[in-house]
Structure 1
Amino acid sequence: MFERLWNGSARMEEWTEAVSQGALTAVADDIVTVHTTYFCGSVTAIRTTEGLVLIDTAKPDTARRTLEVVRSWDDGPIHTVIFTHGHIDHTSGITVIDAEADARGWPRPRIVAHRNVARRMQRYADTQGFNSHVQGQQFDMPGYVYPIGQRRPDEVYDEALTLEIGGERIELFHGRGETDDATIVWLPERRVLASGDFVIWVFPNAGNPRKVQRYAAEWALALRRIESLKPAVLIPGHGPVVFGEARIAQMVGDGAAALEHLVRETLGLMNRGASLDEVLHAVRLPDAYLAKPYLLAKYDDPEFLVRGIYHLYGGWFDGDAAHLKPARTAELAAEIATLAGGADRLAERARALSESGRMRLAVALIELAGASAPDDRRIQADRAAILQKAIDGEGSLMGKAFLAVSQREAARRSGG
């Protein structure tokens, strides 16, 4: 199946199905990686004379099964847990691990991570309501409550840290990419590297529209660092383990080059005074990158990354005076509807644009029509239909998810 994933003849959903009951990959002598689904971070176990070292711990709904798979391989105490970053699909399993240690009379494992992991966990506590709302919207889970309260790191570092545990040398390096608290785990004597979410078997997730700032340029630097270490085995944050120096070099090199292209082109336009609107419609990633099976724009969208790059270097103002102190959307929509001759005229034009395939304009106009006539069931039905067509034509899961939030709202307001 790996070969089919590598050559593009298999989809990651097929791999997810295959590992859904918990699958164990032998990485090297005394090292295994456990997968339960693509959407949960991988968990790697290293056997040492002082106990097991785990790299990440899985998410709430897969943590118990992940630990069971680890226990099928080694039933000894867990000495240390390394968090590659603070996202819940990599940290939440510590609760299950601690409960097992308590039940068996073992010391709870030491947690090692970058200093910013603890800051992230505090931010999640401070914004639990917001994160619950966003995640519930994005994944259509009404009433979802974002999990907080995971145990925080016992030992933190800033740029680099070397651990010597039970005869195993483990080097940690900090980088910024999807998060500002990311760790690369390198076992130099084994030439085994755990990348965390710097490698995820899809296009780098550096542009999520509803998450805090992400770092495309520094993600590329981290990938170049991985490339320079020349690992023989790469354990991605998501997706199957990659074996072989040449394949790993190709995978991380292509990822770095794609990010470098977006950063270079975006900054080039910004340096010439281009507005965000001009940048978004001018910067394009060559199709050759997006054709790579491990760089499919399936979760994030390169256009979202361009927006994130602009925001990082240029702030939130996009150069359009109307956006500096914007009018309320409902008021603006009502004025435009009046000028157009009514919300019906806006909806009619939106339908025509949709039928001709001009979906960006169609969505813009139907959202104005919907905002100006929120209780008009027919307009809301048109809105739901146009948004559904936009969803069907959207390649990225994020794009589909956020369009779907509005589509569901329109369907509800339409009465059906």
Structure 2
Amino acid sequence: MTATVEKPQAAEEEKEKPFLIVGTGTETVAPGLHILRGQGQSFVAETDVGLVVIDAGPGGSVTQGMIDALRQLSDAPLHALCFSHGHIGYNAGVPMWLAHAAARGDAPPRIIAHRNVPRRLARYGETMALQHRMAEIQFNRPPGFFDHRLATHPPTETFDDMLQIGSGERRIELRWAPSETDDAIALWSPAQRVLYGGAALIDSIPNIGTPFRTMRDTVRWADTLEALAALKPRKAVREFGATLEGEEQVQHVLLHTARALRWLRAEVVRLMNEGLNERDILARIRFPDELFAVDWMKPAYGDPGYIVRDIYRSENGWWDRNPTSLHPAAPEAIGRAVANAITDKRGVIAQACALAASKQWQLALHVIDLLATAEGEAPEIAEARSLKAEWLRERAREVPSYVSRNLYRVGADMIEQGTQARFGIR
């Protein structure tokens, strides 16, 4: 008999609010230097050649709100739009800014990015359907939600390490700041010693090792933070989170984060050299409070375990060290064979339910997967899938990472809708 799964309370089932949209309006951090809120915290610098804006926003009402807010600050022409990094969405609003400049009778602004951005955009163009599916899952949105929201627009010029715009006291520098991406940049005002850190500087643990993305270089991110600290900023604006005020605080946050990343690298390398595989390391490693129990290292989006996996995979291949997985059978065949091999299916379900009753959700999921990954509508198989969906939602309540919560919840939705195979979810 198939178990009845009660839906969680509405408040618990509520979808996450849009994570990347931080609000509207502006905030002046120094004369002529302003936060421009939209998708993350964009930035505006008033230079002697015109306005320089970091990130055009995702388009639609968000970008229009950014344009309107900017015009409450200044009537100067827009000199340049700059990509903080090449992730899709942050600059989908470029056409709206170009139309705004044209409507004012201004010259088209320069569209500036690091030289690695065009290569990234070309890769996204090749994999656009995949990018949309991954975004739907990661941000818990319905199928097709991103089909018209992730438009890409190439820059008109690129730079390598540093590009100066303007002159004198009002000049700014665009600096390569590889971190979340290899094409991220920061903005530096030498005269006022104000830093806009872009994707390199957020208010939670660095976003390394996210489950859906390519590997990111942990040590390079630490190098970037130390290079930004060497500028001796008096203020540092983060892409997400409150502005860091005072040279002492800026130094503390930047260098503390770099130190934590270097500790992770050293500890994972030590455990790899002992012969531990990825899962062994995840079970063994302990994250010291002095490095990770601070506000700006909280796992609000990423997670320290994600970083461990990225470091491990930077030195290892894809193999999980189980010879059975070298040349696996098809997933549906494996699920069917395992389920057929279990003669006491009720016993498996009972053991999984016992673990769930003691709130050991992760272990309950491991056990129920012996049946839940099989195809078909046999009573025990259908019940196992229903239980898995229920326990995925329970597991989601335990984890602080936005990404992990969404992956658990979307996985549960797909199981109940019978759509998990379309997304490769098991």
Would you say same fold, with TM above 0.5?
Answer: yes
Corresponding residue for residue 265 of structure 1: 267
**Partner in structure 2 of residue 180 of structure 1:** 182
Correspondences of 1:376-415 after superposition (within 5 Å): 376-413=381-418
Residue 329 of structure 2 is aligned to residue 327 of structure 1: yes
- Which residue, 347, 350, 365 being the options, matches 1:345? 347
Q: Are residues 1:144 and 2:149 paired?
A: no
Equivalent AA in structure 1 for residue 113 of structure 2: A
Q: Distance in 1 between matches of 2:121 and 2:271?
A: 36
Residue deviations 1:103-131 (CA, integer Å, cap 9, x gap): 22222111222111111111111111001
**Closer/same/farther in 2, CA of residues 101 and 243 from structure 1, 3 Å limit:** same
TM-score, structure 2 as length reference = 0.86
Quote the sequence identity (%): 29
Q: Counterpart in 2 of 1:7?
A: none
Contact in 2 for aligned 1:161/1:171 (Cα 8 Å): yes
Rounded Cα–Cα distance in structure 1 between residues aligned with 2:219 and 2:124? 25
Cα displacement (A) at 1:95: 1.9
The answer on whether the counterparts of 1:41 and 1:56 sit within 8 Å (CA) in structure 2 is no
Q: 1:343 to 1:171 in 2, by over 3 A?
A: farther
Q: Give the drift of 1:277.
A: 2.0
Q: Is residue 209 of structure 1 aligned with residue 211 of structure 2?
A: yes
Give distance in 1, aligned partners of 2:324 and 2:221: 33
Cross-structure match for 1:155 = 157
Change in Cα spacing, 1:374 to 1:135, as seen in structure 2 (3 Å) is farther
Cα shift at 1:223: 0.9
Q: Deviations over 1:71-120 (max 9, x none)?
A: 10012210012212112343223221111112222221112221111111
Report which stretch shifted further, 239-248 or 114-123: 239-248
Cα deviation for residue 206 of structure 1 reads 0.7
| Pair 400,104 (structure 1): closer, same or farther in 2 beyond 3 Å | same
Determine helix, strand or coil for the equivalent of 1:32. Answer: strand
Q: Distance in 1 between matches of 2:209 and 2:274?
A: 23
Deviations 1:34-62 (A, max 9, x none): 224xxx22121111232111122222241
1:112 aligned partner: 112
CA pair 102-345 structure 1, distance change in 2 beyond 3 A: farther
Distance 1:318 1:379, change over 3 A: closer
Alpha carbons of structure 1 residues 327 and 349: separation in structure 2 relative to 1, 3 Å = farther
Kindly tell me: are residues 394 and 409 of structure 1, through their superposed partners in 2, closer, same or farther at Cα, counting changes over 3 Å?
same
Query: Are residues 166 and 130 of structure 1, via their aligned partners in 2, closer, same or farther at CA, if it must alter by over 3 Å?
Result: farther
1:133/1:17 CA distance change after superposition, 3 Å: closer
Alignment-mate amino acid for residue 412 of structure 1: Q
Other-structure match for 1:87: 87
Say if 1:142 and 1:148 are closer, same or farther in 2 by CA, change over 3 A: closer
Secondary structure of the equivalent of 2:44?
A: strand
Alignment size in residue pairs: 397
Post-superposition CA distance 1:228-269 (Å, at most 9, x none): 211011111122322211111122122112211111111122
Bigger relative contact order (CA 8 A; separation at least 6): 2
Can you give the 5+ residue segments of structure 1 that lack an aligned partner in the other structure? 1-12
Match of 1:248 in 2: 250
The answer as to whether partners of 2:349 and 2:368 remain within 8 angstroms in 1 is yes
Secondary structure of the equivalent of 2:297?
Answer: coil
Query: Counterpart of 1:45?
Result: 44
Aligned to 2:7: none
Q: Is the 8 Å Cα contact of residues 175 and 183 (structure 1) preserved in structure 2? A: yes
For 2:417 and 2:257, locate their aligned partners in 1 and report how far apart those are by CA, in whole Å: 41
What is the alpha-carbon distance in structure 2 between the residues aligned to residue 331 and residue 411 of structure 1? 21
Contact 2:169–2:191 (CA under 8 A) maintained in structure 1: no
Gapped runs of 5+ residues in structure 2?
1-15, 420-426
Is the contact made by 1:255 and 1:295 (CA closer than 8 Å) also made in structure 2? Answer: yes
Aligned residue type for 1:394: V
Comparing 325-334 with 102-111, greater Cα deviation is found at 325-334
Alpha-carbon contact 1:343-1:372 (below 8 Å) kept: no
Q: Secondary structure at the match of 2:171?
A: strand
Question: 1:226 corresponds to which residue?
Answer: 228
Instruction: Give the match for residue 5 of structure 2.
Output: none
Amino acid at match of 2:73: W
Structure 1 outlier segments of 4+, above 6 Å: 16-19
Question: Against the structure 1 CA distance between its residues 313 and 173, is the aligned structure 2 distance closer, same or farther, given a 3 Å change threshold?
Answer: farther
* RMSD between superposed Cα atoms in Å: 2.5
> Contact between 1:48 and 1:166, CA under 8 Å: does it hold in 2?
no
One-letter amino acid of the structure 1 residue matched with residue 32 of structure 2: D
Distance 1:181 1:144 in 2: 26
Alignment of 1:370-381 (within 5 A): 370-375=372-377, 376-381=381-386
Cα distance, 1:152–1:281 mapped onto 2, change above 3 Å = same
In structure 2, the partner of 1:8 is none
Question: Helix, strand or coil: the match of 1:214?
Answer: coil
2:218 touches 2:265 (CA, 8 Å); kept in 1?
A: yes
Q: Distance in 1 between matches of 2:21 and 2:414?
A: 35
- 1:207, CA displacement in angstroms? 1.5
Which of residues 191, 194, 210 is equivalent to 2:193? 191
Q: Tell me the distance in 1 between the aligned counterparts of 2:376 and 2:202.
A: 40
Amino acid at match of 1:127: T
3-state SS of the aligned residue for 1:229? coil
- Paired with 1:337 and 1:17, the residues of 2 have a C-alpha distance of 41
